[in-house]
Amino acid sequence: MFKFTMWLLLIAVALGGCASARKIHILDGSEGYSINCSGGDSTWGNCYEKAGDVCGARGYNILEKISEQSTSSSGNIIEQHGGTATNRNMIIKCRD
């Protein structure tokens, strides 16, 4: 089941190379967005594009950028496709 789930996740990332946005509450209590643009075919550019889509002409402020390399030694799909995956996440707040 785990391998099947990982396979579906990798297919979703590979097909779009796109980012996803999730509404969150940031430390000051206001609304922000967590934008995920992880995966080998995705870049920070995908995060910036999604932030622009979410906030539109108002623009946005980047509150935090998180990037880390992850590896797998369990023989799952990630290891079979190069051994590493890049996890990227950006927290933004739309301007008023």
- Kindly report, residue by residue over 13-48, the tens digit of the pLDDT: 444 457 999 999 999 999 999 999 998 788 999 999
Question: pTM for this structure?
Answer: 0.67
Please state, for a pLDDT cut of 70, what percent of the chain lies above it. Answer: 67
Please write down the long-range contacts of 58-62, taking CB distance under 8 Å and 24 or more positions apart: 58/94, 58/95, 58/96, 59/94, 59/95, 60/92, 60/93, 60/94, 60/95, 61/92, 61/93, 61/95, 62/90, 62/91, 62/92
- Domain-by-domain residue ranges, the chain? 2-94
What pLDDT is attached to residue 90?
96
pLDDT score, position 69: 76
Q: How far apart are CA 39 and CA 14, in angstroms?
A: 8
